[in-house]
Structure 1
Amino acid sequence: MALDASIVSSDPFSPPSDSALWRRDFLLGAATASYQIEGAVNEDGRLLSIWDTFSATPGNVLAGDTGEVACDHYHRWESDLDLLSTLNVDAYRLSIAWPRVMDEAGRPNQKGIDFYKRLIGRLKEKGLKTFVTLYHWDLPQYLEDRGGWLNRDTAYRFADYADLMSRELSGQVDAWATLNEPWCSAYLGYGNGHHAPGLANDRYATQAMHHLLLAHGTAVPVLRANDPASLKGIVANVGRGTPDSNSEADVRAAHLFEVQHNAWILDPLLKKAYPKDLFELWPGTEPLVLDGDMETIGAPLDFLGINYYFRTNVKSDGAHGFTEVPLPGVERTQMGWEIHPDGLRDLLIGFNKTYASLPPIYITENGMASDDKVVDGRVDDSQRISFLKRHLAAVDSAIKAGVDIRGYFIWSLLDNFEWAFGYERRFGVFHVDYKTQKRTMKRSAELVAKFLEERNTKATAPA
């Protein structure tokens, strides 16, 4: 089913009058993550993270880039929050750096905690909703030295961290997300080594995932006790897999792709069990699961965050898995990812049919990288404008199909450290000159701001 052509019109941010995007209670926001923007990795008692170690190792990150300075947000946070006001958004999604707020003995680091208190306090002054992610991949290195997510104890140390921050920020946070994209932490970090800590073993990946999800489930009741008025949830990245042909083998391969990318995380959370098909892909990799673990992992959620970026076309590998077959002639981003908004809509509708206990959804990340340059003081990111419009239309289509979607966050507010790709790939709606730290509003941001100003004016106008 193609998207409604009336939605994909020449005006990038004027959706139809019946679109959910016009509703004042539908949140539109922007998102960032601590390691990608903060810098100041050695200041005010912050400890090393696995990404400090990983990016300092030659060959791990493009061009040898690290997060040592990033966007210098730790020192420029006040002016960066002013960018949110310029953008006219309703909400801001950020993450807390675990190594910045606790020492190795689990004691609070007050200077780090005070940084987030000041930041979130300013967001509340601005009237913005605050969506706070506790873990966006920057595990303290001392915990990795003890086994990281392969060590069950890390899940309990995460609960201690969640306890500290939810007590310190109680009443200031609108929504807590325990983890961001456990698939990336488990598979890219422990399965194929593309991300920190750089280990590569399928058995490691499934065990790391179990401990990540256990950390989530252990933290949820702590968050409920300390900050009862806030929403509690988790953020999962999801992938659309499509078969290269109509053959039974290729259709099965596409199914297995989505099992590995989606059901691996969502089934334990919403069905309290791992999908059996996962271990068809990786025979003999079943994690060690203790009595009561799946009940803990399946703790009720107030919301589910969904991150979506692209579609993957696959075929059978002739054995028990799949292999990617890139489609020719399709539109791609700077990352090489196919732009496929229908995939987001189809996944959302599919999840709504599959999971009886599916909680309300926020699209917590959606965006694209392009090779943006400042020309005469402006950045014309026309592909991003088209990308955002088409994906917002896909979200609207899913809402009209009955999916309970409450908001959408653009990834990202700022160009930033894009993990193993360093600073080459630019996802922000504000351009960052990394030499001068100058921020420049891109054309996409200008149009988002214009639309939201119009929406907010209409929403507050007298009947």
Structure 2
Amino acid sequence: MTAILPDHFLWGASTAGHQVDGGDTAADTTFLEGVTPSVFKEPAGKACNSWERWEDDLDLVKGMGLNSYRFSVEWARIEPEEGKIDQSALDHYDRMVDGCLERGIDPAITLCHFTLPSWFAAKGGWLNHDAPSMFADECVRVLDRIGDRAVLAVTFNEPDLPRILDNGSLPQEAVDLQRACIDAATKKAGVARYRSGNVVIPEEVTQLEYGFIRAHRTAVQAVRSVCPTLPVGLSLAVIDESYSTERGKELALDKRESCYGPWPAAVQGDDFVGVQNYEREVFDDNGPIPAQPGEDVNESGSPLHPESLANSVTYIHHLTGLPVVVTEHGVSTPDDDLRCRFIKASIPPLVELVRDNVPVLGYFHWSLMDNYEWISAFDVHFGLCSVERENGTYDRKPKGSAAVYRDIVASTVL
């Protein structure tokens, strides 16, 4: 059977389990947060307490007038020990999906958003020859339970990110700390190699990439075996590489070939490809041009270019020939006025692509709320809503940008 693509534009927000749920004690990320040294600034702990407050999250999505919510189903919750399935975790996701539908929200499911069961990481993670079949079993388990009510299934979140980070996006001290963290985890677990999906050492990037591709192809088959009409694909991190000189053009094209080269073939036959864009890099003779005085920048100091979203979508659509879903897009900043300006400037060019018949199926903003941002912990802010973590209430409060996004959705006809 052929996948049934959404018959309406998906306006949504994205989250990921480890970053919002809290308390996933069987996860590899939790294990890595607890070793010494750790690349993670602090443990996620209860994160945003979404495991308990997921209904509040769905109310936020509904309150913004959105019709879809992208969230991850956490393998470590469902199979905390190899071969032992926690039915209560599947029950939880079943309730979440029903909660979405009760509010008129289409659930978009991510099957692996970086975090893995610790037992799987202790077996070498995606470097393990048997990893694809183990992941396929998880996909079948999940979709057999909730696939009949989902609108999209995303197998992997940003499997190209390790390659992007290996192309100069991480300072050497961070690379060294990742290696030390992985070595400490391997020693603590008492195994030959403890390997995660988002703490990676440079010499294993190619092998990891190959593991992701194998697992993705197997997962697509598994999804279709259970839900033949459910659209399935993966999401790619995409930096909008551009240039200002001829040498800069060579550098930009070289980076594109390195970062995205394997993926057009890997996604052939999929129903869509996800694009996750946050930045643009403009290359001159010496590499990416840093932010100039007066330019808007994000919390990492990178300049903001609202046109990067539409550029990235156009590039990936042409590269793969597939329909596109913007599975993530946003800006890390404590300045919500900046976020408002960025949203207002970024979305209209995307809307024009849709009106020009580029097959863009939806837009999901990252993120619904300020959450745990991996090695930066809680020190960067992507949320349309804030979360009162310090006082222990975990109350959510929409920011002005939530209203801006709501108004754009309400006034845009697609």
Q: Within the alignment, does 1:426 sit opposite 2:403 as a pair?
A: no
Cα drift, residue 130 of structure 1: 0.8
What does the per-residue CA deviation read over 1:210-241, in whole Å, with 9 as the maximum and x for residues that have no partner? 11111110011111121123211111111122
Mapped partners of 2:300, 2:345: distance in 1: 18
Contact 2:223–2:232 (Cα < 8 Å) also in 1:
yes
Q: Partner amino acid for 1:163?
A: V
**SS class of match (2:84):** coil
Counterparts of residues 59-98 of structure 1 (less than 5 Å) = 60-61=38-39, 64-98=41-75
Counterparts of residues 105-254 of structure 1 (less than 5 Å) = 105-185=82-162, 188=165, 192=175, 198-202=199-203, 204-243=204-243, 245-247=244-246, 249-254=247-252
The verdict on how the C-alpha distance between 1:218 and 1:448 changes in structure 2, with shifts beyond 3 A counting, is: same
Gaps of 5+ in 1: 1-23, 271-297, 318-322, 373-380
Q: 1:369 aligns with which of 332, 337, 351?
A: 332
Mapped partners of 1:139, 1:255: distance in 2: 33
**SS class of match (1:333):** coil
Contact 2:275–2:312 (Cα < 8 Å) also in 1:
no
**SS class of match (2:160):** helix
Mapped partners of 1:199, 1:364: distance in 2: 23
What does the per-residue CA deviation read over 1:437-456, in whole Å, with 9 as the maximum and x for residues that have no partner? 1211100112223444456x
RMSD, aligned CA: 2.5
The verdict on how the C-alpha distance between 1:57 and 1:314 changes in structure 2, with shifts beyond 3 A counting, is: farther
TM-score normalised to structure 2 length: 0.85
2:402 corresponding residue in structure 1 = 445
Q: Partner amino acid for 2:15?
A: T
The verdict on how the C-alpha distance between 1:158 and 1:315 changes in structure 2, with shifts beyond 3 A counting, is: farther
The verdict on how the C-alpha distance between 1:316 and 1:200 changes in structure 2, with shifts beyond 3 A counting, is: farther
2:283 corresponding residue in structure 1 = 314
The verdict on how the C-alpha distance between 1:353 and 1:167 changes in structure 2, with shifts beyond 3 A counting, is: closer
Q: Within the alignment, does 1:302 sit opposite 2:271 as a pair?
A: yes
Gaps of 5+ in 2: 1-6, 179-195
Q: Once structures 1 and 2 are overlaid, which stretch shifts more, 78-87 or 445-454?
A: 445-454
The verdict on how the C-alpha distance between 1:416 and 1:60 changes in structure 2, with shifts beyond 3 A counting, is: same
Mapped partners of 1:362, 1:66: distance in 2: 31
Give identity over the alignment, percent.
26
Larger radius of gyration: 1
* Pairs aligned (count): 382
Contact 2:22–2:44 (Cα < 8 Å) also in 1:
yes
Contact 1:186–1:208 (Cα < 8 Å) also in 2:
no
Counterparts of residues 374-413 of structure 1 (less than 5 Å) = 381-413=336-368
The verdict on how the C-alpha distance between 1:264 and 1:339 changes in structure 2, with shifts beyond 3 A counting, is: farther
Mapped partners of 2:62, 2:177: distance in 1: 36
